[in-house]
Each structure stands twice: as structure tokens, then as C-alpha cells.
Amino acid sequence: MNTSPPGLAVMTPDQWDKRYPLVASNVFRDVATLAAVMVGFIGLGFQGYQSNRSNAQQAVQLEAQTYLTREMKYDDMWTGYMELALEYPQFAEGADYNALSAEDKIRYTWFFDRLAYTAEAILVLRQDDSKWRELFESEFRKHASLLRDHPGIIRDWFCNYNDSVRPLIKDAIRGSGRAVPDCTAKKKGASANA
């Protein structure tokens, strides 16, 4: 008994294969498989493009965040030095080292060392930043009395400062009238002892 609607004959699989040979052949299946694989590769390519675009955006965001973090660190370090300057205003504008008490000489020496440490930390990454360089040049020049009169600060400490800070301190030492030590000889002696 035929249950198909009038006018439509039900075909057996063999009849389909004879009437539509392309559908029955492996060519059709192969083309369909190839199309599915191509759609898959196109999808992977698009996903890779989106991933690369997302990675590029993340890299830009990370770079901006790193820059802001460094700038905040520099500001925090400078603020820490300025707070110390407010706590010890007698040292902030430079003091007459010989007129200080023994206790104040120690404080003043550590005050100067904090300035040098702050300058090192900032200038090691910002060597080309003229704003920071000029600021620290000005700060170091204020301490000519300490650089001139302290018995060991030049001899014992100067060569331990970083190359980003040493030229600034060297200029302040020259301004104080003292001779600038040769750190290359000290470094060679230290490496020979090691």
C-alpha cells in the first residue's frame, strides 16, 4: 500500500541512486566533507585572528599599566624623600656640615644617602628624562658642604653609587671644591680581591 501523497511516488534507495547518481556517489560525500573541513579552518583562522587582536589589546593594556605603576612608584619614592625633607628641613636645603652636632651629622649623612638612593631608583630606568636629572642635579648641589667636609662620604660611598647617579654627584663634588675619586681603580681592586 502506497502512503505517499498523490503525485509523489516513494522511491527506494536503488531508485534514488539511479535517478540522482551524484548524490549517491562518493564525490558528493567528499565535497561535503571538504566543505565542512574548509568551514572549520575558516573558523579556526577567524578565532586565531580574534585571539591575536585580543592579545595585542592586552599587551597595550599591560604596557600602559606597567608605565603607570612605574610612574606611581617614582612619585611614591619622591614623596618619601620630600616627607623626610619636611621632617628635617635643616638638611633639605643643605646644611653646614661642620656646624652640626655629632648626632645631626649622622642624620644629615643618611638624609643625603636617601636622596642618592631615590635618585638611583628613579634614574636607573629614566636616564633620558631631563626633568628628573635636572631635579636631582639641583638637589645634589645643595649639599656641597656635606660633600666637601664629610671625612668619608666621597672616599667610602661615592663609587658605590650607580652610574646613573654618579655623574650628578660628581658635578656637585666639583662644585664643592673637592677632588672627584676615580672609581675605575676601586672597581679593579675589588674585582682582583674577589
Asked if pLDDT for residue 42 goes beyond 60, the answer is yes
What amino acid occupies position 119? Answer: A
**Residue 156 DSSP one-character state:** I
What amino acid occupies position 68? Answer: L
CA angle 50–56–62, rounded 5-degree value: 135
On the 0-12 / 13-18 / 19+ scale of CB atoms within 10 A, 168 is buried
Q: Is the dihedral of CA 136, 87, 105, 185 positive or negative?
A: negative
Instruction: Give pLDDT tens digits for 132-185.
Output: 899 999 999 998 888 888 877 777 777 788 888 888 888 888 887 777 777 765
Of 4 and 151, which is predicted with more confidence?
151
Phi, psi dihedral angles at 180 (to 5 degrees): -90, 130
Predicted confidence at residue 178, as pLDDT, reads: 77
Q: What is the pTM of this model?
A: 0.61
Asked if pLDDT for residue 188 goes beyond 70, the answer is no
N residues, the chain: 194
For 48-63, what is the mean pLDDT? Answer: 75
Q: Is the dihedral of CA 151, 108, 89, 101 positive or negative?
A: negative
Asked if pLDDT for residue 86 goes beyond 90, the answer is yes
- Report the C-alpha gap between 111 and 126 in whole angstroms: 22
Instruction: Give pLDDT tens digits for 104-133.
Output: 999 999 999 999 999 998 888 777 788 989
Q: 51: phi > 0 → left, psi -120 to 50 → alpha, else beta; which?
A: alpha
State the CB neighbour count (10 A cutoff) for residue 173: 22
Grid cell, residue 137, equals 642635579
> Per-residue confidence at 194, pLDDT binned at 50, 70, 90?
very low
Kindly list the domain boundaries of the chain, sorted by start residue.
Answer: 88-193
On the 0-12 / 13-18 / 19+ scale of CB atoms within 10 A, 24 is middle
> Per-residue confidence at 54, pLDDT binned at 50, 70, 90?
confident
Predicted confidence at residue 186, as pLDDT, reads: 53
For 26-42, what is the mean pLDDT? Answer: 75
* CB distance 123 to 164 below 8 Å: yes
Percent of the chain with pLDDT over 90: 20
Asked if pLDDT for residue 64 goes beyond 70, the answer is yes
Percent of the chain with pLDDT over 70: 84
